[in-house]
Amino acid sequence: MAKLFQEFKLKNLHLKNRIVMAPMCMYSAGADALLTPWHYAHYLARATGGAGAILLEATAVSPEGRITEADLGLYADEQIPRFRKLTAAIREQGAAVGIQLAHAGRKSRTRGKIIAPSPLAFPTLKTPEAMSETEIERIVDAFGEAAKKAHLSGFDFLEIHAAHGYLINQFLSPLTNQRQDEYGKDRTLFLRRILEAVRKNWPEEKALWVRVSAEEFHPEGLRPEALGRILKNLPIDLVDVSSGGVTGERVDAHPGYQIPFSEKIREISGLPTAAGGLITEARQAEAVLEEEKADLIYFGRELLRNPHFPLYAAKELGVEVPWPKQYIRAKI
Ligand X SMILES: Cc1cc2nc3c(=O)[nH]c(=O)nc-3n(C[C@H](O)[C@H](O)[C@H](O)COP(=O)(O)O)c2cc1C
Among 302, 308, 313, 314, which residue sits at the site for ligand X (rule: CB under 6 A)? Answer: 302
Tell me the closest approach of the beta carbon of residue 47 to ligand X, in angstroms. 17
Q: What span, in angstroms and rounded, lies between the C-alpha atoms of 226 and 236? A: 17
* Helices 282-290 and 309-316: angle between axes, nearest 10 degrees: 70
By beta-carbon proximity to ligand X, the closer residue of 125 and 278 is 278
Among 128, 228, 277, 310, which residue sits at the site for ligand X (rule: CB under 6 A)? Answer: 277
* HEC letters along the chain: CCHHHCCEEECCEEECCCEEECCCCCCCCCHHHCCCHHHHHHHHHHHHCCCCEEEEEEEECCHHHCCCCCCEECCCHHHHHHHHHHHHHHHHCCCEEEEEEECCHHHCCCCCCCEECCCCCCCCCCCCEECCHHHHHHHHHHHHHHHHHHHHCCCCEEEEEECCCCHHHHHHCCCCCCCCCHHHHCCCHHHHHHHHHHHHHCCCCCEEEEEEECCCCCCCCCCHHHHHHHHHCCCCCEEEEECCCCCCCCCCCCCCCCHHHHHHHHHHHCCCEEEECCCCCHHHHHHHHHCCCCCEEEECHHHHHCCCHHHHHHHHCCCCCCCCHHHHHHCC
By CB under 6 A, is residue 286 in contact with ligand X? no
By CB under 6 A, is residue 212 in contact with ligand X? no
> 301: how many CB neighbours lie within 10 A of its CB?
13
> Which segment (10-18, 40-48, 220-228, 272-280) binds ligand X by CB under 6 A?
272-280
By CB under 6 A, is residue 169 in contact with ligand X? no
Among 65, 276, 307, 310, which residue sits at the site for ligand X (rule: CB under 6 A)? Answer: 276
Tell me the closest approach of the beta carbon of residue 299 to ligand X, in angstroms. 5
By CB under 6 A, is residue 57 in contact with ligand X? yes
Tell me the closest approach of the beta carbon of residue 39 to ligand X, in angstroms. 13
Among 6, 11, 24, 199, which residue sits at the site for ligand X (rule: CB under 6 A)? Answer: 24
Among 4, 16, 23, 61, which residue sits at the site for ligand X (rule: CB under 6 A)? Answer: 23
Among 86, 101, 163, 208, which residue sits at the site for ligand X (rule: CB under 6 A)? Answer: 163
By beta-carbon proximity to ligand X, the closer residue of 58 and 198 is 58
Tell me the closest approach of the beta carbon of residue 102 to ligand X, in angstroms. 7
Total binding residues for ligand X by CB under 6 A? 20
By CB under 6 A, is residue 146 in contact with ligand X? no
CA distances from 24 to 71, 74, 148 (A): 11, 16, 22
Among 125, 278, 287, 317, which residue sits at the site for ligand X (rule: CB under 6 A)? Answer: 278
Binding map of ligand X across residues 216-255, x = CB under 6 A, - = no contact = --------------------------x-------------
Among 13, 58, 282, 297, which residue sits at the site for ligand X (rule: CB under 6 A)? Answer: 58
By beta-carbon proximity to ligand X, the closer residue of 128 and 277 is 277
Binding site for ligand X (CB under 6 A): 22-25, 57-58, 100, 161, 163-164, 211, 242, 276-279, 299-302
